[in-house]
Amino acid sequence: MTIRNALLAAITLLVPVSAQASGIPQPGDFYFISRDQQGTFVGSHKLYLEYSSGLKQVSYCNRDYYVRSHSVAWTQFETELGRTVQIEYNFGRGWRPICERPQDQVALADLGIDMQPREFLQQSQNDDKPVSRLSAISGIFNKSKAESRYKSYHTR
């Protein structure tokens, strides 16, 4: 076993399980869901019910949420690509659509951002930094993949 593999194994064991599972949708979560013309899932972004650093308060279908500006740009860009975006609620046994056409309710301009969605997504992709300890640590070991570690599966 190489030193790198040993360090990664040790880090994995030391990181709490809740930190690893934070990206997994849970019952009670709200997400922007993008689907293609056949209704097949394409991608998603989470909406939050509580404020956290970097989030903006918005209202969709008469309900308040907190979202990242990147997510708002993403909803606009997905519809430009011909996909359907809606807010869906995870009720534990599947997803229930609760709000249609969120891109028509909140746009980048509403957040004070005067950029086209594609331009904003490209800029934020270049400006994003690892946000978790595990991302930062693994970034040290993946210097040859520096650009790809900042991409989400939504922008690849």
pLDDT for position 120: 95
**16-37, pLDDT tens digit by residue?**
333 334 567 787 899 999 999 9
pTM of the model: 0.66
**57-67, pLDDT tens digit by residue?**
999 999 999 99
Domain-embedded: residue 76: yes
Domain-embedded: residue 156: no
Pairing of strands 63-67, 56-60: antiparallel
- Report how many domains make up the chain: 1
pLDDT for position 12: 41
Counting as low any pLDDT under 70, the low residues of the chain are 1-23, 124-156
pLDDT for position 45: 95
Two tokens, residue 125: 């992709």
Angle at 90 between CA 85 and CA 93, to 5 degrees: 125
Domain-embedded: residue 140: no
Domain-embedded: residue 73: yes
Residue with the two structure tokens 């509580």 = 50
Domain-embedded: residue 103: yes
Domain-embedded: residue 133: no
**Full residue range of the structural domain in which residue 50 is found:** 27-124
Report the Cα 60 to chain-centroid distance in Å. 17
DSSP helix/strand/coil, 72: helix
